[in-house]
Structures are given as structure tokens and as C-alpha cells.
Amino acid sequence: MTPWSLRAAVRNGATGAVDAARRAIAATEPEVRAWVELVPGPAAAATTGPLGGIPLGVKDIVDVAGLPTRCGSVLRAGAAPAADDAAIVAAWRRAGAVPVGKTVTTEFAYFSPGPTANPAAPGHTPGGSSSGSAAAVAAGHVPLALGSQTAGSVTRPAAFCGIAALVMSRGRFPVDGVTGLAPSLDAHGVLAAGVDDLACAWAALTGEPDPAARAPRAPRLLLCTAGPLEPSMRAALDHAAERLRAAGMVVDALDGVDVDALTAAHPVVMAFEAARERAAELAHAGSLSVPLADLLARGAAMPEAEYRAARDRVARHGDAFAAAVDGYDAVLAAAAPGPAPYGLGATGDPVCSRPWQALGLPAVTVPGLHDDAGLPLGVQLVGRAGQDGDLLATGCRVAGVLRRRPGG
């Protein structure tokens, strides 16, 4: 099945959308395996809110009233149903979205993968940790799904599954009811088929004007090619820049920001904070995957001075980023080093998102590019903190160019 157009569903009215989602899930879930648990019985469709009853998938580290939050871990296998919605779920309900179930996450939103397949690249990983949410959107199960990002857990799955995603500015919405990993890095995310769908969802969630409806203006972008990019990704990024310039956009080179230093600081901060956030789980290290147990043990042994030094580096480079992007709308960068790796035993490398996540910046994954084998290649746009709507407006312009056939 093809992914939903959220904008078309809202425009045409969402009557019966939850039932349609249930049918779509039943048709392909045995192969996709995106869901942990569905809301039992008929879900009451929302009658208020601009989304008007659109079905929503929720990553299984985020509380939904009446469903357990198992976090992809055997330690939570017997979790009781949540008494209340997480704050972010309550916000989406007010916007008119209807949670239909919990989507697969990696273990405590780290690296140990779940069973989910990649609908856009059979046999290849859907990424992590928001793997179930990305696959549920890509498979056409739901038009919207919630994720979270601490390193690259929304951007990477969206890129691998050929869909769009928004990582919100850190702190834009509260994280009450979310099982986090590293408080200074954790951020909300949402996944949809296209950037225009994200813009529609953002307007419904926040009450802001629809970013896609803003008066057209040629964006000014900065191109970042840092990181261990595969040849196909480098070629795609260069190709995207050429097409955007041909469409009248400014695309200059990013200068004055030590992206490598930010990338190196991120895992230091992540390990130190995760060891304290998940201290109860560290006490049961034998029941954790080796990658998560190693992360928590490394963070627990880390001197606080090392952590503070990493935080200080992030702050300094954040100031440099703010200066570099003055007069520009966004940074254009790779969303992942390349296409989704083959196999389901690993989720891929989050390196392309680490520097921006360290700074708490919003990021939009833009689909539409592919390698020679037809596998999706995603690029991302990184904006200023707190300017998520502006970034989505830029993303709509960029996506409009990249989804057109060259010369079309």
C-alpha cells in the first residue's frame, strides 16, 4: 500500500479513517511488524480539532492511556496500562488525531532492533529507534506516527523508509509521559508521507498558520557535507544542491561550524545522562542488550568533568552555528550516511544527526532521492531552535523541487 496523504485526508474529511487504518494494518502487518499493540475495540473518532479523526501511531516509549508502555524491553514486558496520555499525545488528541496503537521501538530507544521490516526497501533495516512509526507510515497503515530522537532516531528511519519527518526543537513540547534516554538530547518527532503533510499536522498541533501556505520565497541554504558519507549519498546531496540552485535557491557552503566537534561531543553527553536516566535498568544489566548495557556502564564510569567539558563544547559551537546561519533559512545535510543497510540485525549509524541533536535544533527529513538500486536516500534541513514552522515552510519549498523530475 502507498502512504497516506494527510493533507488530502483532512481536506476530504476523516470519516472512517480509523477503520481504514485498521484494515490497512490487518492487510500487511504480518510482513511489516510495525505494531506492538493496537487500541482494543472501536476507537472513538475525534469530532473536534482540525485533524478531525486522523489515525495516529505512537512509539512505544510514549504513554497512551489504557495501553502499556513496554519500551522494547523484557524489563517492561509486564508493564501495566498507562493511566494517562503523555503530554504530547494529549496535544495531538486536542488537534483531532486518534491514537490507534503503539509502534515498535528499539530497546529503550537505543540500538537493539525490533522485528520491523522496511516497506520501502525489503530486506533492509527500517532504522531505529522509531522504526515502527516509520514503517507504519511507509506501509500506508497511518498518515501520522510519533517518534522521538536522542541521536538519529527519527531522521534516520524516515530517510531509510523514504518518508518525511520533523524533529521538533528540544523543549517545544513537554516530555511528561515519555520514557527518555538523555534529558538534554531527547526531542519529540512526527513522521508522515511528505513535508506538506508535516506542515498540515504542525498547523493543527500548534494553531500556527500552515507553513505550506506561506508566500513563496526562494530559500537561502547552507550545504553541509561533513561526516562519513557513502558515495551514493554524496552524489545525491550534490545533485540536490544543483537542482535547488537551478530552481533559484541560494546554496552556499556551511563554514565556521566545527561539525566534527559537535558530533564527538554528542555521545559523551548521551552516555553520561543515559546512565543516570536509566539507572534502574543498569541494575539489571544482564537483562539488557549488550549495546545498551555497554552505554550505561560507560556513562556510569564517566567523570563528571568529561561530561561538563562536552556540554561546554556544545554551547560554544552552538554560538558559532547561530552566527554561521545568520541570513540563511536552513542547513542542507545528509539524513544518513547512505541508504538503509541490508539486514535487520542493526539499525544504521546516527552520525549525520548527532551534531544537530546536540544543539537541540529542529530538523526536517525530505524524501524523494534514490540510489542507483532504487533505495531511498533522505536529506535533512536543519533550522534555528524554536523556528520549527519556518523550517517546515522551507522544507515544503525544497521538497517541491526534489520531487519533480529533473527538467520537469
pLDDT by residue (tens digit) across 60-105?
999 999 999 999 999 999 999 999 999 999 999 999 999 999 999 9
- Residues contacting 371, CB < 8 A, separation 6+: 232, 236, 338, 339, 377
pLDDT given at position 48: 80
For 361-386, what is each residue's pLDDT tens digit? 999 999 999 999 999 999 999 999 99
Judge contact between 171 and 360, C-beta under 8 A: yes
Sites in the chain below the pLDDT cut of 70: 42-47, 405-408
Check if the beta carbon of residue 237 is closer than 8 Å to that of residue 334: yes
In the prediction, which pLDDT does 405 show? 61
pLDDT at 408: 43
Do the Cβ atoms of 79 and 69 come closer than 8 Å?
yes
Which strands make up the sheet holding 376-382, listed edge to edge?
35-38, 97-103, 54-59, 144-149, 187-192, 164-167, 363-370, 376-382, 330-334, 220-223, 250-253
**pLDDT score, position 162:** 98
- Residue-wise burial string across 148-171, b where 16 or more C-beta atoms lie within 10 A, e elsewhere: bbbbbbbbbbbbbbbbbbbbbbbe
- Whole-model pTM? 0.97
What residues act catalytically? 59, 129, 153
Is 130:149 a contact under the CB 8 Å cutoff?
yes
Closest by CA position to 71, among listed 153, 141, 135, 126: 153
Nearest residue to 191 via CA among 211, 172, 167: 167
